[in-house]
Amino acid sequence: MTLLAIDTATTCASVALWEAGAPLASARVVGGRLHAEVLMPMVDDLHRRAGRSVADLEAVAVDVGPGLFTGLRVGLAAASSISLALGVPAQGVTSLEVLAHPHRRCPGLVASVVDARRGEVYWALYATGGSGLEPVVAPEVVAPGAVVEALSARQDKALAVGDGAWRYRELLGTVAEVAGPADLWPSADVVAELGARALALTGAPSAPPHPLYLRQADVRVGWEQVGGRVGEPRPGP
């Protein structure tokens, strides 16, 4: 199976092309929120370097979040468009599982922490060991202090990964080992691995992937904070 993976959940946009369960090529762009400008040129360049065509794709995998609102919409729109145009399945995976997956064989706990801005983080906690992850705390949006409180109640010390863990490393470092810059962002290569595994286990999803926002978009939050003084937000996410 030839699979394209897309990750635009954070400030790092990445893509990966896998075939028969092995990587062919990958690329990423770090910094800013230029997902709409860089994503499709990256996809085109990826296929060119791998000697493949978009028409060769048999599946798409995409990071559904939580993460940047606009970035998620760009990645999901691209994945859905390719899926519909080619008639191939599109599989969603969460950014928090993508961050934790590379550490699945390390005994203990892994806390995936994504910077949600506004003094909050998206996070989830997993138990590791063997070849998989066992969810301990489901994805949620909280203040960093709530993550500290949750981890301090655990007997095992956790490894904290993600740009949120790095941003609040001084705080989280009191109750967890904070991973370095190499573990800041989810990777499209891991999206490809998890997406291919999900498709092999359960087959094609019955519905297109939907974003896991956990919180309203910042622009909507801003409107609500105005309190109606300059108008109400339009309906929709």
**Residue 58 contacts by C-beta under 8 Å, 6 or more apart in sequence?**
1, 2, 3, 88
Spell out the domains of the chain, with CATH numbers in brackets.
Answer: 2-95+186-226 (3.30.420.40), 97-183 (3.30.420.40)
pLDDT of residue 134: 95
Closest CA to 219 of 68, 62, 75, 64: 68
pLDDT of residue 221: 45
In the block, tokens 């998206």 appear at 122
Edge to edge, the sheet with strand 90-93 lists 22-30, 12-19, 2-7, 59-63, 90-93
Start-to-end CA distance of the chain, whole Å, equals: 34
> Mind listing the pLDDT tens digit for each residue in 150-172?
999 999 999 999 999 999 999 99
pLDDT of residue 149: 98
**Which residue type, as a one-letter code, is found at position 149?**
E
pLDDT of residue 129: 76
pLDDT more than 70, % of the chain:
89
- Give the helix ranges, DSSP H, for the chain: 35-50, 69-86, 95-100, 144-152, 163-167, 169-172, 188-202, 218-226
- Calculate ∠ Cα 34-188-28, nearest 5°: 40
Closest CA to 74 of 8, 163, 130: 8
**Residue 170 contacts by C-beta under 8 Å, 6 or more apart in sequence?**
none
Positions of the chain with pLDDT under 50 = 219-237
pLDDT of residue 218: 57
CA dist 129 to 21, 62, 103, 109, 136, Å?
22, 25, 9, 9, 13
| DSSP secondary structure code for residue 9 in this structure | S
Closest CA to 158 of 147, 167, 168: 147
CA dist 144 to 4, 120, 176, 212, Å?
34, 6, 12, 19
Q: Are 100 and 214 in contact (CB under 8 A)?
A: no
